[in-house]
């Protein structure tokens, strides 16, 4: 079997010792060896080995735990600064209904993701035309079919049958899942039924949750701007609006509907208190943090320091270009670093933990136990990033605090899916 070895001055993987002059050997789409270059090459047959030498840091492929690639050509919304969720939603809805090629937009987003060093995504698919982008790009992860707008009444009129058909129409790989959009866009019974359906089908769930104070008031008491907007738009039959809210916050409301468990992960998780975070830990729920999207929309920062101190499982998402200036995971990691420090997190492990969130943490959120880490038998999902230092600690700090928007190499399942010109020029082969 032909083996390809990727060699770099620094090799980093969460939970494993950093390597100086390290190497990762790949065959059949899997990692077969990781170690110093001398150790790895000593075990291989030179006649069947191809060596690619890279400059910079070699890492697991990044995992984008929350994105909507189909909104790539709505970047004018994400490049602006909004005063709050209602302002952003108005700008979004002014463009969303206009005719556009969702397939091409999603494909463009997938290409950007690969250029950024991302190898796995939690992709939210709202329009069927965008459903093949992750599959066609060869990315790993989960394509989640987004469900929204159903009342309990309309769900009873064939909703489950429609959702089953829509989900089955998504091409695989990757794995597919269900995304009940949010607590304010689906009736109470529908969220419960979607959780049941996800369990029955054996697929994962992904939910936007605790993203805005607007949403919090809606759930607690059925009041506020969001509640009034929904009533004006003819959604007054939603149970939360009829019943004056649930009397709890978003996290406890979802838990009461059976929506929280180890096969569900949430996006955003901003408006959560200590009890909410404890409940998420108890249920095994990861949270994909999207700080730059929150900032563009005009929301508060997530409680990054509290999540870290209390031991919550976190991942990193970019959201879409309709609410974020780029699809670079490193740019969101840098934002999380600054937020954590501003919130008083002073422990020395911050860089390691945020690096883990962008790799193994995202893989954990998506149920990808063989992704996000460099170890034998794991998927050969790799990325190389230019860094100025060959010292592992300094390279890690550089990636977390100011990582590049673009990788020099992205490898998915052992196949090179993106290589910058410099990477092509530097690669060497030995047969």
The CATH number covering residue 25 comes to 2.30.40.10
Residue 179, phi then psi, degrees to nearest 5: -125, 90
> Phi, psi at residue 50, to the nearest 5°?
-115, 130
pLDDT at 265 over 50: yes
In the prediction, which pLDDT does 425 show?
Answer: 42
Residue 37 belongs to a domain: yes
Confidence (pLDDT) at 428: 44
Residue 220 sits in the same domain as residue 312: yes
pLDDT tens readout for residues 304-333: 999 999 999 999 999 999 999 999 999 999
**Domain assignment present for 306:** yes
The number of distinct structural domains making up the chain is 2
Question: Cβ atoms within 10 A of the Cβ of 213, count?
Answer: 17
pLDDT of amino acid 311: 98
**Cis check: omega of the bond before 49, within 30 degrees of 0:** no
Residues 177 and 215 in one domain: yes
pLDDT at 402 over 90: yes
Q: Assess if residue 304 is contained within a domain.
A: yes
How large is the average pLDDT for residues 8-19? 97
In-domain check, residue 388: yes
- For residue 227, is it within any domain? yes
* Whether residue 47 has pLDDT greater than 50: yes
374 vs 381: CA distance, rounded Å = 8
CA triple 68-399-8, angle to 5 deg? 110
Mean pLDDT of the residues in the chain: 95
pLDDT at 429: 42
CATH number at residue 234: 3.20.20.140
- The residue count of the chain comes to 431
Please return the burial class of 79, using the count of CB atoms within 10 Å of its CB with bins 0-12, 13-18 and 19+.
middle
Q: Are residues 54 and 104 in the same domain?
A: no
Q: Tell me what pLDDT residue 235 has.
A: 85
Residue 140: pLDDT band by 50, 70, 90 thresholds? very high
Residues ≥6 apart with Cβ < 8 Å to 113: 64, 67, 69, 121, 137, 139, 327
pLDDT tens, position by position, 182-235: 999 999 999 999 999 999 999 999 999 999 998 999 999 999 988 998 899 888
Structure tokens at 102: 């969702």
Confidence at 1, pLDDT banded by 50, 70, 90: low
Which residue, 314, 256, 249, is CA-closest to 285? 314
Q: What pLDDT is attached to residue 424?
A: 43
Question: Within this chain, do residues 28 and 154 fall inside the same structural domain, yes or no?
Answer: no
Q: Point out the domain boundary residue: 338, 365, 392.
A: 365
Pair 282, 412 in one domain:
no
Instruction: Look at the block and give the residue holding tokens 């790539």.
Output: 72
Which among 310, 330, 321 has a CA at the least distance from the CA of 57?
330
Residue in 15, 71, 139, 50 with CA at minimum distance from that of residue 322:
71
Q: Which residues of 222-257 are buried (b: 16+ CB within 10 A; e: fewer)?
A: bebebbebbeeeebeebebbeeebbeebbbbbbbeb
Instruction: Tell me the pairing of strands 286-289 and 314-316.
Output: parallel
pLDDT of residue 431: 36
Pair (242, 130) in one structural domain:
yes
The fraction of the chain above a pLDDT of 70, given in percent, is: 97
Phi-psi group of 175: left, alpha or beta (phi > 0 → left; psi -120 to 50 → alpha; rest → beta): beta
CB 373 within 8 A of CB 14: yes
> Which of 315, 333, 365 represents a domain boundary (last residue)?
365
For residue 190, give its domain range.
Answer: 62-365
Residue 430 — very low, low, confident or very high, per pLDDT cuts 50/70/90?
A: very low
Last residue of a domain, one of 336, 365, 394: 365
CA distances from 12 to 58, 60, 344, 381 (A): 6, 8, 26, 13
Q: How far apart are CA 363 and CA 375, in angstroms?
A: 14
Residues 228 and 269 in one domain: yes
Establish if 173 belongs to a structural domain.
yes
- Residue at 253 is within a domain: yes
Task: Please tell me the predicted confidence (pLDDT) of residue 98.
Answer: 93
Work out the number of other CB atoms within 10 angstroms of the CB of residue 97.
Answer: 7
Show the tokens assigned to 154.
Answer: 């309309």
267 in the same domain as 377: no
What is the per-residue pLDDT across 324-359, written as a single tens digit (0 to 9) for each? 999 999 999 999 999 999 999 999 999 999 999 999
- Tell me, yes or no, whether 268 and 415 share the same domain: no
Banded pLDDT at 421 (limits 50, 70, 90): low
Whether residue 45 is predicted with pLDDT greater than 60 in this model: the reply is: yes
On whether residue 431 sits in a domain, the answer given is no
Alpha-carbon span 8 to 27, nearest angstrom: 18
What pLDDT score was predicted for residue 3? 96
- Residue 422 reports pLDDT greater than 80: no
Do 44 and 149 belong to one domain? no
pLDDT at position 297 is: 96
Residues 218 and 335 occupy one common structural domain: yes
Kindly state whether residues 391 and 408 are assigned to the same domain.
yes
């Amino acid at each position: 079997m032909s083996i390809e070895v990727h060699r770099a001055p620094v090799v980093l993987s969460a939970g494993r010792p950093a390597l100086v002059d390290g190497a990762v050997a790949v065959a059949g789409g899997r990692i077969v060896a990781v170690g110093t270059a001398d150790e790895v090459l000593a075990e291989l047959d030179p006649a069947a080995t191809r060596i690619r030498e890279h400059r910079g840091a070699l890492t697991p492929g990044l995992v984008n735990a929350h994105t909507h690639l189909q909104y790539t050509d709505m970047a004018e919304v994400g490049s602006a600064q909004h005063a709050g969720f209602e302002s952003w939603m108005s700008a979004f809805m002014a463009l969303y209904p206009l005719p556009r090629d969702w397939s091409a937009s999603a494909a463009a987003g997938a290409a950007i993701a690969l250029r950024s060093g991302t190898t796995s995504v939690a992709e939210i698919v709202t329009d069927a035309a965008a459903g093949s982008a992750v599959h066609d790009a060869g990315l790993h992860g989960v394509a989640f079919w987004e469900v929204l707008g159903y009342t309990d009444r309309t769900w009873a009129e064939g909703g489950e049958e429609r959702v089953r058909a829509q989900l089955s129409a998504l091409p695989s790989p990757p794995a597919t899942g269900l995304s009940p959009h949010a607590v304010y866009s689906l009736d109470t019974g529908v969220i419960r039924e979607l959780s049941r359906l996800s369990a029955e089908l054996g697929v994962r769930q992904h939910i936007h949750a605790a993203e805005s104070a607007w949403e919090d008031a809606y759930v607690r008491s059925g009041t506020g701007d969001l509640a009034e907007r929904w009533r004006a738009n003819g959604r007054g039959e939603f149970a939360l609006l009829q019943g004056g809210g649930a009397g709890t916050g978003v996290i406890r409301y979802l838990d009461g509907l059976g929506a929280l468990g180890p096969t569900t992960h949430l996006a955003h998780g901003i408006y959560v208190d200590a009890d909410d975070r404890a409940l998420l830990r108890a249920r095994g729920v990861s949270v994909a943090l999207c700080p730059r999207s929150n900032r563009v929309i005009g929301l508060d920062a997530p409680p990054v320091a509290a999540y870290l101190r209390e031991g919550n499982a976190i991942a990193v998402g970019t959201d879409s270009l309709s609410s974020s200036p780029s699809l670079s995971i490193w740019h969101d990691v840098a934002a999380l670093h600054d937020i954590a420090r501003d919130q008083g997190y002073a422990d020395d492990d911050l860089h390691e933990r945020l690096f883990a969130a962008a790799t193994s943490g995202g893989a954990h959120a998506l149920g990808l136990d063989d992704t996000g880490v460099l170890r034998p038998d794991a998927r050969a999902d790799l990325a190389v990033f230019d860094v100025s230092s060959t010292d592992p600690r300094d390279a890690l700090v550089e990636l977390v605090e100011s990582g590049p928007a673009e990788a020099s190499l992205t490898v998915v399942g052992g196949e090179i899916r993106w290589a910058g010109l410099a990477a092509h020029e530097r690669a060497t082969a030995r047969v």
